[in-house]
Amino acid sequence: MNDTHEAPGTSAGTAPPSGWLNRTVVGAGVTSALGDFCYETTTVILPGFLAVLGIPAAALGLIEGTADAVASFTKMVSGYIAEKLGHRKLLVLAGYALTPLGQVLIAIALGWPLLLAGRLASWFGKGLRGPLRDAIVVQAVSPETRGRAFGFHRATDTIGAVAGPLLGVALLGWAQRLHGTDPAWPFRLVLWLSIIPGTLAVLAFLTLVRDTQQSPNPALKFFGSLRGLPLRFKRYLGAVGIFGIGDFSHSLLILATTTLLTPSMGVVHAAQVAGLMYVGRNLVQVLLSYPIGALADRAGHLPVLVAGYVLGALTATLTALAFWFAVDSVILLGGVFFVAGLYVAVQEALEPTVTAEMVHADTLAISYGALGTVNGAAKFVSSAMVGLAWTVVSPVFGFALAALLMFAGTVALGRARVSAPA
């Protein structure tokens, strides 16, 4: 392919679409919201389900860690398979179909093996669909409107992440008032009900999203395609990876808030408040994802992403300081969640758009796969690292270490150049 006159992220001979809020962008957003609604419902009730089944907490860590690892690897492979076969939409549909299948396996589980199988199926599907869906969305809009399109998509995606846990908790309370056969019955009922939005996600993507024609490339080599990615993009991935090693799971932020509030509130009330703060974080992401994308379209995607990374480092710093000063103020701790929601909105909306500016259309899917793999692997390392440092040394040390790594990633990202030669 001769890419001398082809801009990154556009198909040769194809004029970019003029409108960004088109059928494909809306369809991808609706699908993501329904998909998140399905599996986030499981996320919020899974610890309690394990408890009533008598499965130890260590099994939950094994299940979630293994699922994250599978999702990270699948993101890379899915891009390669899509470019080799030329069937992105079919693979995305398969990825969304695996989520309700995973819910079925979890709903009928009596022990940890089926729970693991169900979580692996869901997360394999998540890894399979994510990079390909992003590639379809980015080619459905013009380069000048990518920030808005991805901001809209992330906002709708997060609506499912907010509504799923809230409705999951509400349905669990309703199911407990019904007459079941065993203590696990209410959890199983919620899991069965969550299959409905998962199935609707498949139908929404099938009927609403249109994918541009992709020519299969049977001769494509996996490692050769990775080596051929632009040097500037590899440096960008390095910065994302350094930042990601400090970018701990926000379940640790919930635990931190619970720990800090427990002396004044008691553990149960503290856990409830921390959970509501996390929902608030997701609401911040919903409300600000589109405005951030629109701002980035005008100010530049990379500079706004750098600013978002600064906010990420600030989140870790504020958490470390909260432990240092033993903060138990709901307002101050809520402020940390607000900053966290703001930086996640920037990160999730703009990392894909910056990627699209650095690579060509014929490597877009595998580039998104590389981005997802780096993010997933780094997040797995970061959560384990911060949790270990918290336990072995202190929470102040754990979150300060995270802040240092996130700041280093921010500096590396600030040195990146979108327009640098490949």
Find the CATH number of the domain harbouring 340.
1.20.1250.20
Tell whether 166 and 312 lie within a shared domain: no
In the chain, the amino acid numbered 12 is A
73-117 tens-digit pLDDT:
787 777 667 666 667 888 899 999 998 999 899 889 888 888 889
Tell whether 251 and 169 lie within a shared domain: no
Chain centroid, CA 195 distance in Å: 20
Tell whether 42 and 163 lie within a shared domain: yes
240-275 tens-digit pLDDT:
999 999 998 787 887 788 889 989 988 667 766 877
Domain boundary among 175, 206, 237: 206
Q: Establish if 198 belongs to a structural domain.
A: yes
Q: Establish if 219 belongs to a structural domain.
A: no
CA distances from 417 to 162, 235, 298, 401, 422 (A): 35, 9, 17, 27, 11
Confidence of residue 403 (pLDDT cuts 50, 70, 90): very high
Contact criterion met (CB below 8 Å) for 128 and 350: no
What's the domain range around 49? 22-206
Tell whether 237 and 202 lie within a shared domain: no
The residues near 399 (Cβ < 8 Å, ≥ 6 apart) are 248, 256, 316, 317, 319, 320, 323, 386, 390
Taking the C-alpha atoms of residue 413 and residue 155, their distance in angstroms, rounded to an integer, is: 24
Contact criterion met (CB below 8 Å) for 350 and 300: no
Average pLDDT, the chain: 81
Taking the C-alpha atoms of residue 42 and residue 359, their distance in angstroms, rounded to an integer, is: 36
pLDDT (average), residues 380-398: 85
Q: Establish if 404 belongs to a structural domain.
A: yes
Please give the tally of structural domains in the chain: 2
pLDDT score of 57:
52
Q: Establish if 102 belongs to a structural domain.
A: yes
Q: Establish if 2 belongs to a structural domain.
A: no
Looking at the chain, the number of H-run helices and the number of E-run strands are 14, 0
Tell whether 293 and 412 lie within a shared domain: yes
